[in-house]
Amino acid sequence: MSFHWKVLLWMLAGVLCGLGLQYGTDGTAWSGASFEASPSGGLVVTQASGPAAKAGLSKGDVVGELVLLRGSEDEQRVALTSPEDFAAALGRSGVGDVVWAHRGATGSSGAAPAKPLAINLKLDPGSARATILAPFQFVADIFMALLKMLIVPLILTSIITGVAGVGAMKDLRRLGGKTFTYYIATSLLAVLLGQVLVTIMRPGVGASLGLSPLESGDVAPEASFIDVLKRMVPANIFESLSDNGSMLSVIFFALIFGAFITRAGSPHKQRMTEFFESAYAVMIKMAEGILALLPYGVFCLLIGVVAGTGFGVFKPLLLYMLTVLVALLLHACVTLPLILKFVGKVSPRRWFTAMSPALMTAFSTSSSSMTLPVTLDTVEKRGGASNKIASFTLPLGATINMDGTALYECIGVVFLAQYYQSTGQFELTLAMQATVVVMALLASIGAAGIPSAGLVMMLTILTTLGLPVEGAALILAVDRPLDMLRTVVNVWSDSCGAAVIASSEGELAPEGATAVG
């Protein structure tokens, strides 16, 4: 059985098992707080644990009002005068919902009201459903930790290897300049397209995702774009390597380090190049091994999501998926064909027909690296590009040119930022949007050409913005079909780049002729 079918089957199994647990076992929403009536009005907190303690409630606090479905058209405000009022409000909420507690007695005046606290309702830990879900949640947490473990070493070795490999080919420096220009330009166009579409369609605004609220100090401090550029230069690279939130610094260091490897004398140049090539090969094997667990990770994640919140959480994801699909379609069918036609002077229809075997392989494997042998053969034999052009541009493209991945990362991060912004916990400023564009572009360079590698890179951008990475776990639930499609866009962009560069070098055979060179 092919890997993507295996993932889809385990996804289905996770959904079915989650539904079985939701409707077949007892499970109620739990806030972790207990109250008693206050003589001055409102309710006094007598106990705060779990979600309530995490939100910032403590024993002795007075809560005068709850807000349900905050920021939506169905927002409700509940004045609290007895513990029964709180219990009734909780009964109208479900596991994964967020309720907002306003501290202070209802109608009190004088001091400015305290900032409301967001309590993310969890499954009652004493329920039968929570007991059954515990081992699945454990596996899901371990799987997410394994993904985060890959971030720094994968990006570092990938970028250093790619840059050092290009610089080692002195007779192809002109070709390297053209290749990098094409890859950076198309990836940037893809990111900007994704940014525009997600801003227009706003899939995260008002969505009910059941994610944990932001804690105090989580959100990255607002900074100008100049500040973002300053943070790219690490004062201590070893400190940056130990922090997933410092990926801009890691990427900058990797680019500079790879460039200066090419200027080192023998034997150091060869030794360092071979060392990082070996390290990257090992990291790819490690990533493949961890992502081989994807079916089981998805299964455990979906059981928790569906058993806890039901299908309601997937409704907002439909608009998110539509946004990604529209962006991929526009980039693959409009942006890249226009570049082929007007820059490369190549017929888009002819090139697409020639590339069909590689595109079908990309769809079925979800891996641009695994598709590379087919892409090389197709570009040379069916497309008519020379071996010199194909063997230089395509392996590099499989490493650093990820148009579909860059677009997907941008939309995914902004989608989650919109969700937190609509709940009043986060402000997505222009500087942060610029950060997302730069990070999506640079992170796509470091994405490995293996299934779901873009998900690993998305964690870096979320961490940089100070957003919880659990949002990526939710997106993972619908990632597989999107992964297959964005891999097609990645490979299609690689092949278009080979056509454009081969045409500019005079090494692309005309239609109907055999490959030159």
Query: Could you read off the pLDDT of 140-168 as tens digits, one per residue?
Result: 888 877 877 877 787 788 778 767 766 54
Joined together, the tokens standing for residue 217 give 């100090």
228-256: pLDDT as tens digits: 567 778 888 888 888 766 766 887 888 78
pLDDT band at 316 (very low <50, low <70, confident <90, very high): low
Q: Is the pLDDT of residue 170 over 80?
A: no
CA neighbor of 15 nearest in space, from 301, 318, 296: 301
Report the length, in residues, of the chain. Answer: 517
**Section 11-38 average pLDDT:** 84
Q: Which of 58-67, 208-217, 366-375, 428-437 has the lowest mean pLDDT?
A: 208-217
CA 88 to chain CA centroid, Å, is: 37
For residue 232, the tally of other CB atoms under 10 A from its CB is: 17
Tens of pLDDT, residues 492-508: 999 999 999 999 988 88
Terminal-residue alpha carbon distance, the chain: 39
- The residues near 249 (Cβ < 8 Å, ≥ 6 apart) are 231, 232, 233, 234, 237, 240
Q: Rounded to whole angstroms, how far apart are CA atoms 358 and 366?
A: 11
Q: Give 137's pLDDT tier (boundaries 50, 70, 90).
A: confident
Domain ranges of the chain: 30-124, 134-207+223-504
CATH number for the region 134-207+223-504 comes to 1.10.3860.10
H/E element, 44: strand 43-48
> What would the pLDDT profile of 418-463 be if each residue is shown by its tens digit?
887 876 667 777 777 887 887 777 766 655 555 556 666 677 777 7
Strand 29-30 vs strand 43-48: parallel, antiparallel, or unpaired?
unpaired
The owner of tokens 């971030």 is 151
Give me the pLDDT at residue 376, please.
Answer: 84
Q: What's 386's DSSP letter?
A: -
CB atoms within 10 A of CB 285: 11
The domain over range 30-124 is classified in CATH as 2.30.42.10: yes
Lowest mean pLDDT among 194-198, 405-409, 468-472, 480-484: 468-472
Is this prediction's pTM over 0.85?
Answer: no
pLDDT of residue 193: 95
Please tell me the distance from the alpha carbon of residue 91 to that of residue 30, in angstroms, as a whole number: 10
Residue 325's pLDDT is what? 94
- Identify whether the C-beta of residue 14 lies closer than 8 Å to the C-beta of residue 298: yes
From residue 455, give the alpha-carbon distance in Å to each of 73, 178, 255, 409: 32, 29, 22, 8
DSSP 8-state secondary structure symbol assigned to residue 332: I
Q: How far apart are CA 475 and CA 191, in angstroms?
A: 18
- Mean pLDDT within 53-63: 85
Predicted confidence (pLDDT) at residue 326 exceeds the cutoff of 90:
yes
* 338 C-beta neighbours (distance < 10 Å), count: 12
210 pLDDT above the threshold of 60: no
pLDDT above 50 for 109? no
CA–CA separation, 469 and 148 (whole Å): 9
Mean pLDDT on 478-501? 88
Q: What is the CA radius of gyration of the chain?
A: 26
- Percent of the chain residues past pLDDT 90, beyond the cut: 15
* Three-state secondary structure call for residue 137: helix
Please report which confidence band the pLDDT of residue 324 belongs to, taking 50, 70 and 90 as the band edges.
very high
Question: For tokens 């290897």, what's the residue?
Answer: 161
